[in-house]
Amino acid sequence: MNIQKEIWLVFFLLLSIGLIAGCEGTTPHSASSEIEPIDYSKAEAMNKRLGKGINFSNSWESPDQTGRGCLDSCLNNPIRDEDFLIVKAAGFNSIRLPVRWALTASNEYPFTIEPARMEGVKRHAQMAIDLGMPVIINVHHDTELDTSTGFQQAFQELKFTGIWIQIADAFKDFPDDMLVFEVFNEPHDQITDDILNELFATVYNIIREKNPGKTITFNPNGYGSFNNMNKMKLPKDGNLIITGHYYQPHSFTHQGHGNPCGDTTWGTPPDKLTLKKNYQAFVDTAKKYFPSLDGGHIPLNTGEFGVSNNNSATHCDQGQVLPSDKEKAKWIQAVMEMVEGAGMSWHYWGFKGAGGFEAYNKTTGKWYQPVLKALLPNSPSLTP
């Protein structure tokens, strides 16, 4: 691509953001002005349908060993047709389908998405829907956008919007009550709150142009932290959900993933009190900044939560161990009580091949029973 064309495209991006964000009907809903309650009944109905869900992780969002993209098999973890039947039989209501679109999309306008990737994601979404399981499709691990600055950041913003134009068009005929769009997974690094809110406004309008009835979810800045909800500016639309991620404390949940090993227990009274305070703060923030007509708040979804266990012991030094399935389940059960007590839908990270976070052993073809029981106490897939 020549530099003149790049400059023109970036100019077009900046102009588009300014125009789109100011369109009628997209006035941001935030704390900077008087907040009017919104009727979130449409989003609440969708959130109820999402219910108890699971992530099909480390598949469509994974790079190969060279850093380039492949289809859904980069980490030797392709999504199999039977996977949908397995999670359905266990009692899960919905599936979150993370997708790393940008890695293999063209770097020239209109940033064409790899056809095989698009068709594969559409096929998997349809398989879930055919089983009566709603699907969340997102833009996952857009590392180039997260880490770029200056001219390159503006270019990646343009690519991001180009990708969403294609996604919105490709899924426009999927049923509104069975497919949800998640704009941007775990924004971080160079993505400031102002940039993120501009992207929210722009992509919102792109989606709404061809998908007026679909629910849209927004992930706060700082790797999807609920703590940053107060910095979000969302359109005044009653069909929106805020989705956040919860992995606290990282010293326990991410052992062997850039954190020391050996903290193998969790569940003291102070641990549980901190968890309770955190989720109460999330609800209070939602009520304050995104109130609903019924006295509540915008619907919330815990789109990722999980804890690594001894399946990742190779990440630790010799002699060190990670939490047992029993200790892992203790944390999950406590989080579940807070999530469901707050009326949130949820999606556990993840199903299989999730680097120690998985709930299902793809080698043995069996669920990790303590984990499944913590997630779904009445699951038909629990063994006596």
- Of all residues in the chain, what percent carry a pLDDT higher than 90? 75
pLDDT higher than threshold 50 for residue 383: yes
Boundaries of domain holding 321: 3-27+41-375
Residues ≥6 apart with Cβ < 8 Å to 330: 266, 267, 374
Please name which of 13, 12, 304, 326 lies closest in space to residue 157, comparing C-alpha atoms. Answer: 13
Average pLDDT over residues 179-207: 97
Least confident of 63-67, 120-124, 192-196, 279-283: 63-67
* pLDDT tens-digit readout, 281-304: 999 999 999 999 999 999 999 999
Tokens of 56: 């099909």
pLDDT higher than threshold 90 for residue 260: no
Provide the mean pLDDT of the chain. 89
Measuring CA to CA, how many Å separate 300 from each of 43, 244, 283, 338? 10, 8, 8, 12
Q: What is the pLDDT of residue 18?
A: 43
Task: Judge whether 36 lies within some domain.
Answer: no
Average pLDDT over residues 354-372: 93
- What are the two backbone dihedrals, phi and then psi, of residue 246, each rounded to the nearest 5 degrees? -135, 115
CA distance 123 to 60: 12
- Of all residues in the chain, what percent carry a pLDDT higher than 70? 86
Helix (H) or strand (E) holding 3: helix 3-21
Task: Judge whether 190 lies within some domain.
Answer: yes
Q: What is the pLDDT of residue 70?
A: 76
Q: What is the pLDDT of residue 6?
A: 47
The residues facing 136 across adjacent strands are 96, 180
Helix, strand, or coil (residue 180)? strand
- What are the two backbone dihedrals, phi and then psi, of residue 348, each rounded to the nearest 5 degrees? -75, 140
Task: Judge whether 52 lies within some domain.
Answer: yes
Task: Judge whether 336 lies within some domain.
Answer: yes
Least confident of 54-68, 185-199, 273-287, 370-384: 54-68
Task: Judge whether 173 lies within some domain.
Answer: yes
Residues ≥6 apart with Cβ < 8 Å to 284: none
CA distance 244 to 256: 23
Task: Judge whether 383 lies within some domain.
Answer: no
Task: Judge whether 244 lies within some domain.
Answer: yes
Q: What is the pLDDT of residue 66?
A: 58
DSSP state letters, 265-307 = ----HHHHHHHHHHHHHHHHHHHHHSBBTTSSBS-EEEEEE--
Task: Judge whether 32 lies within some domain.
Answer: no
* pLDDT tens-digit readout, 210-239: 999 999 999 999 999 999 999 999 999 999
Tokens of 93: 């209501």
Regarding predicted confidence, which is higher, 35 or 71?
35
pLDDT band of residue 33 (cuts 50, 70, 90) is low
Average pLDDT over residues 60-88: 83
pLDDT higher than threshold 70 for residue 25: no
pLDDT higher than threshold 50 for residue 96: yes
Domain CATH code at residue 135:
3.20.20.80
Instruction: Estimate to the nearest angstrom the gap between the alpha carbon of 225 and the chain centroid.
Output: 11
pLDDT higher than threshold 70 for residue 90: yes
Regarding predicted confidence, which is higher, 229 or 261?
229
pLDDT higher than threshold 70 for residue 111: yes
pLDDT band of residue 59 (cuts 50, 70, 90) is very high
Helix, strand, or coil (residue 173)? coil
Please name which of 203, 218, 120, 190 lies closest in space to residue 163, comparing C-alpha atoms. Answer: 203
* pLDDT tens-digit readout, 145-176: 999 999 999 999 999 999 999 999 999 999 99
User: Is the distance from CB of 379 to CB of 86 less than 8 angstroms?
Assistant: no
Query: How many domains does the structure of the chain reveal?
Result: 1
Measuring CA to CA, how many Å separate 380 from each of 16, 140, 343? 51, 31, 23
Q: What is the pLDDT of residue 257?
A: 77
Average pLDDT over residues 76-92: 96
